Amino acid sequence: MATAVETPLPARQIQPPEDLFATELAFLAAYDSGPRPPAWRLTPRAVVTFVMGSGDELKLPEAVPGLPRTLTVGAKFVGDRALVERCVVTLAGERGLLLVGEPGTAKSMLSELLAAAVCGTSGLTVQGTAGTTEDQLKYGWNYALLLAQGPSRGALVPSPVLTAMTTGGVARIEEVTRCLPEVQDALVSLLSERRIAVPELAGSADAQVHAAPGFTLIATANLRDRGVSEMSAALKRRFNFETVGPIGDHDAEIALVRRQAKAAVERTGTAYTVDDTVLEVLVTAFRDLRTGRSAEGWEIERPSTVLSTAEAVSVASSLALAAAYFPGDRDVLGLLPGHLLGVAKKDDPADADRLLSYWDAAVRRRAEHGSATWRTLWDLRGVLEG
Ligand SMILES: Nc1ncnc2c1ncn2[C@@H]1O[C@H](COP(=O)(O)OP(=O)(O)OP(=O)(O)O)[C@@H](O)[C@H]1O
Ligand SMILES: [Mg+2]
């Protein structure tokens, strides 16, 4: 007897949020049937719930085939709910949204989550670089078709932005400030006129591509690279700015780091064995060095590199993988100073000395006050001298 063979999706290193959270998105669409802005998949409130998590279990008013009756939507972005609400309102008003902040504060992640929830895809993306051209924001041509048929709508290759315009979707522009000013300027006219002229198709109905209702842009910009200050005033005016800061709450940051490190290990099919005290000192050290002040109020010399949550996540994941693949070899805490040095020493060699002075001040004082974990770290000071 023939049986239907389901072709499994090929394995991917990273699933986009619209695939990873497909059930949550479908559930939220059924759960909140309130009014939606044009072309939106979810209500604005459901978009916020998707990003921030529902906390409690949600129950569908009636059963929907293929969906669970109840679901707790997981928290994804850790931070200010009011900020996420403002982002959603900006998008609902079809205004451009610019997420700015230090590296590693989840700007890209937030923009992907918002795009996936609003229009069902986070994939309409242009990566801003010094080499980004205006064509990459507008359209190009399929030259074989162009030569065979001459300019026609069929031979036109839309950019992700143009696709978002025609479908009423959300296009994402990563690191917009890295684009050259003249390329950034292409966005000004696009955001004000909401159409792209195709001069090659002059005289036909396709000479102008108009944005469908719902179309908008989310751009991200990193404060450490070419600054937002270099954006033209005209472009700035067309975006609502939201600054994404580092995670304020110590415990929330530990919980996030734990969740992500666990996920990294679970992907390999091995067990997660890192003790919470290790994560706690890791996150504490990152926060001390990031803010220049310890929880006890001691002044700390800050390295010039960014010690972001994203880096705390990757160090925690490395420690967790080391514990999984080399069990019993060595206490993972022993690996922490080396990893911290790797993160801190990226830009300025003097940052290694700053880390050492952190050890001589904060780590030593905590070791003297009796915490075994900090004492172990203090004993590992030698790793940082070199
Ligand atoms: N507030 C946060 N909530 C959830 N995850 C966070 C948060 N801050 C950092 N992270 C972690 O950091 C990772 C990297 O974030 P992302 O790449 O989106 O940062 P970014 O701000 O775009 O950085 P860059 O400026 O370098 O592009 C996320 O995948 C997540 O693991
Ligand atoms: Mg980014």
CB atoms within 10 A of CB 48: 21
Q: Is the pLDDT of residue 310 over 60?
A: yes
Surrounding residues of ion ligand 2, Cβ less than 5 A: 108
Question: How far apart are alpha carbons 8 and 238 in whole angstroms?
Answer: 43
Examine the domain organization and report whether 99 and 238 are in the same domain: yes
Is there a domain that residue 337 lies in? yes
Question: How far apart are alpha carbons 12 and 53 in whole angstroms?
Answer: 25
Which DSSP symbol is given to 382?
A: G
Question: How far apart are alpha carbons 213 and 125 in whole angstroms?
Answer: 19
pLDDT at 160 (0 to 100): 97
CATH of the domain at 138: 3.40.50.300
Q: Is the pLDDT of residue 233 over 80?
A: yes
Rg (CA), the chain: 24
Please give the number of the atom of ligand 1 that sits closest to the Cα of 99: 21
Is there a domain that residue 34 lies in? no
Examine the domain organization and report whether 221 and 102 are in the same domain: yes
Q: Out of 243, 263, 289, pick the residue that ends a domain.
A: 243
pLDDT at 4 (0 to 100): 47
> Which residue type is seen at 103?
P
Ligand 1: residue of 14, 107, 109 to mutate (most ligand atoms within 8 A of CB) is: 109
Please give the number of the atom of ligand 1 that sits closest to the Cα of 220: 22
Examine the domain organization and report whether 238 and 106 are in the same domain: yes
Please give the number of the atom of ligand 1 that sits closest to the Cα of 247: 1
Ligand nearest 313 Cα, by number? 1
Please give the number of the atom of ligand 1 that sits closest to the Cα of 260: 31
Ligand 1 atom 6: residue of nearest CA? 106
Do 219 and 173 touch, CB atoms closer than 8 A? Answer: yes
Q: What is the largest CA-CA distance in the chain?
A: 80
**Confidence grade of residue 308 (pLDDT, cut at 50, 70, 90):** very high
Question: How far apart are alpha carbons 111 and 108 in whole angstroms?
Answer: 5
The residue-averaged pLDDT of 88-96 equals: 97
Question: How far apart are alpha carbons 195 and 153 in whole angstroms?
Answer: 15
3-state secondary structure of 233: helix
Is there a domain that residue 198 lies in? yes
Ligand 1: residue of 77, 102, 105 to mutate (most ligand atoms within 8 A of CB) is: 105
**Structure tokens, 326:** 């080399």
Q: Name the average pLDDT for the chain.
A: 92
Examine the domain organization and report whether 234 and 85 are in the same domain: yes
Ligand 1 atom 16: residue of nearest CA? 106
Is there a domain that residue 42 lies in? no
**Confidence grade of residue 2 (pLDDT, cut at 50, 70, 90):** very low
Examine the domain organization and report whether 184 and 225 are in the same domain: yes
Q: Out of 217, 243, 269, pick the residue that ends a domain.
A: 243
Instruction: Please state the domain count of the chain.
Output: 2
Question: How far apart are alpha carbons 158 and 146 in whole angstroms?
Answer: 14
**Structure tokens, 202:** 């002059």
Write the DSSP string, 263-286: HHHHHTT------HHHHHHHHHHH
3-state secondary structure of 353: helix
Write the DSSP string, 155-191: GEEE-HHHHHHHHT-EEEEETGGGS-HHHHHHHHHHH
Residue 109 φ/ψ, nearest 5 degrees? -60, -45
**Structure tokens, 138:** 């507008």
Is there a domain that residue 275 lies in? yes
The residue-averaged pLDDT of 223-246 equals: 84
For the ranges 22-26, 28-32, 69-73, 205-209, the lowest mean pLDDT is seen at 205-209
Examine the domain organization and report whether 87 and 232 are in the same domain: yes
Q: How many residues does the chain have?
A: 386
Examine the domain organization and report whether 229 and 302 are in the same domain: no
Examine the domain organization and report whether 100 and 210 are in the same domain: yes
Most confident of 41-50, 183-192, 222-231, 285-294: 41-50
- Residue 82: is it exposed, middle or buried by C-beta count within 10 angstroms (0-12/13-18/19+)? exposed
Examine the domain organization and report whether 238 and 93 are in the same domain: yes
**Confidence grade of residue 226 (pLDDT, cut at 50, 70, 90):** low
3-state secondary structure of 299: strand
3-state secondary structure of 259: helix
Examine the domain organization and report whether 88 and 237 are in the same domain: yes
> Which residue type is seen at 94?
E
Mark out the alpha helices in 93-159 (DSSP H runs): 107-119, 134-137, 143-149
Pocket of ligand 1 (CB under 6 A): 77-79, 101, 103-109, 220, 222, 247, 256, 260, 309-310, 313
Is there a domain that residue 44 lies in? no
Do 303 and 286 touch, CB atoms closer than 8 A? Answer: no
Range of the domain at 358: 250-385
The pTM assigned to this predicted structure is 0.93
Examine the domain organization and report whether 239 and 260 are in the same domain: no
Is there a domain that residue 135 lies in? yes
Ligand nearest 222 Cα, by number? 1
Residue 100 φ/ψ, nearest 5 degrees? -115, 155
Question: How far apart are alpha carbons 41 and 170 in whole angstroms?
Answer: 12
CB atoms within 10 A of CB 89: 15
Q: Out of 208, 243, 278, pick the residue that ends a domain.
A: 243
Examine the domain organization and report whether 258 and 359 are in the same domain: yes
pLDDT tens-digit profile of 255-268? Answer: 999 999 999 888 88
How far does the centroid of ligand 1 lie from the alpha carbon of residue 258, in Å? Answer: 15
Please give the number of the atom of ligand 1 that sits closest to the Cα of 76: 4
CB atoms within 10 A of CB 63: 10
Residue 326 φ/ψ, nearest 5 degrees? -120, 60
Is there a domain that residue 132 lies in? yes
How far does the centroid of ligand 1 lie from the alpha carbon of residue 346, in Å? Answer: 18
